[in-house]
Amino acid sequence: DAGVIQSPRHEVTEMGQEVTLRCKPISGHDYLFWYRQTMMRGLELLIYFNNNVPIDDSGMPEDRFSAKMPNASFSTLKIQPSEPRDSAVYFCASRDGPGTEAFFGQGTRLTVV
Amino acid sequence: ELKVEQNPLFLSMQEGKNYTIYCNYSTTSDRLYWYRQDPGKSLESLFVLLSNGAVKQEGRLMASLDTKARLSTLHITAAVHDLSATYFCAVVLTSGSRLTFGEGTQLTVNP
Which range, of B13-22, B54-63, B88-97, averages the lowest pLDDT? B88-97
Interface of A with B (CB under 8 A): 31, 33, 35, 42-43, 45, 48, 50, 55-56, 91, 93, 98-107
The strands making up A5-7's β-sheet, listed across from edge to edge, are: A5-7, A19-24, A74-79, A65-71
Judging contacts by C-beta atoms under 8 Å, the chain A residues touching residue B101 are 35, 42-43, 45
A59 pLDDT more than 80: yes
Q: For residue A25, what are the CA distances in angstroms to A109, B2, B24, B36, B43?
A: 18, 26, 30, 20, 15
- Give A43's pLDDT tier (boundaries 50, 70, 90): very high
Q: Would you call A97 helix, strand, or coil by DSSP?
A: coil
Contact A43 B92 (CB under 8 A): no
Cα–Cα distance, A31 to A28 (Å, whole number): 9
pLDDT of residue A19: 98
Express as a percent the part of chain A with pLDDT over 90.
Answer: 92
Measured at the CA of B13, the angle between CA B8 and CA B18, to 5 degrees, comes to 85
Cα–Cα distance, A87 to A38 (Å, whole number): 8
Cα–Cα distance, B73 to B84 (Å, whole number): 17
pLDDT tens by residue, B28-45: 887 899 999 999 999 999
Q: Would you call A84 helix, strand, or coil by DSSP?
A: helix
pLDDT tens by residue, A65-102: 999 999 999 999 999 999 999 999 999 999 998 778 89
Interface of B with A (CB under 8 A): 31, 33, 35, 41-45, 48, 50, 88, 90, 92, 97-101, 103-104
pLDDT of residue A100: 86
Q: Check if the beta carbon of residue A54 is closer than 8 Å to that of residue A69.
A: yes
Number of A to B CB contacts under 8 A, please give it.
Answer: 45
In chain A, the residue whose alpha carbon lies closest to the alpha carbon of B99 is: A45
pLDDT of residue A23: 98
| Mean pLDDT calculated for residue range A9-31 | 97
Torsion of CA A52, A89, A43, A80, to 10 degrees: -60
Distance from CA of B94 to the nearest CA of A (A): 10
Contact A45 B100 (CB under 8 A): yes
Distance from CA of A45 to the nearest CA of B (A): 7
| Mean pLDDT calculated for residue range B88-96 | 85
pLDDT of residue B70: 94
